[in-house]
Amino acid sequence: MSVPDFIKEAFEGRVSAEPIKGPHMYRWVFNPQDATVELNHNHDRPRHKTEYLTDMAAKHPHETVKGYAYRIKGGWRITDWEHKPLTDKYILKSVHTAIEKRES
């Protein structure tokens, strides 16, 4: 069964013909003491080896900022752990830089 033309037209330009390389989503933890970002994902890994945000943050003896980064067309949507937009510009830039380094 083929896809009707009106449905194809609705998705034209919205769906990439090329498969996405790499993870669709990162989990991140920002360490404010040394301004480092730890990234994690479970792309191509078994589900039982997933390291969650609470596990990542527990490695640090002090308060951290944590969240998610989702791949979107043309870049990344970076949110806090409650999936709300990240407002701190320094953390936003640090997370984005860490992702770009990891992706290249």
* C-alpha to C-alpha distances, 45 to 19, 41, 42, 55, nearest whole angstrom: 18, 9, 5, 17
pTM for the predicted model, two decimal places? 0.77
Residue 54, pLDDT score: 87
The neighbour count for residue 31, using CB atoms within 10 Å, is: 17
Residue 58 has phi, psi (to 5 degrees) of: -65, -20
| Listed residue (58, 79, 52) closest to 68, CA to CA | 79
Most confident of 11-20, 22-31, 49-58, 90-99: 90-99
Q: How far is CA 19 from the centre of its chain?
A: 17
27-44 average pLDDT score: 92
Which tokens is 1 given? Answer: 């069964």
> Does residue 2 lie in a domain region?
no
The neighbour count for residue 43, using CB atoms within 10 Å, is: 11
Share of residues in the chain with pLDDT > 90 (%): 48
pLDDT in tens, 42-80: 888 888 888 888 888 899 888 999 999 998 878 899 999
| Selected residue with higher pLDDT from 37 and 19 | 37
CA-based max dimension of the chain: 58
Which residues form the domain of 38? 25-103
73-96 average pLDDT score: 93
Q: How many domains does the chain have?
A: 1
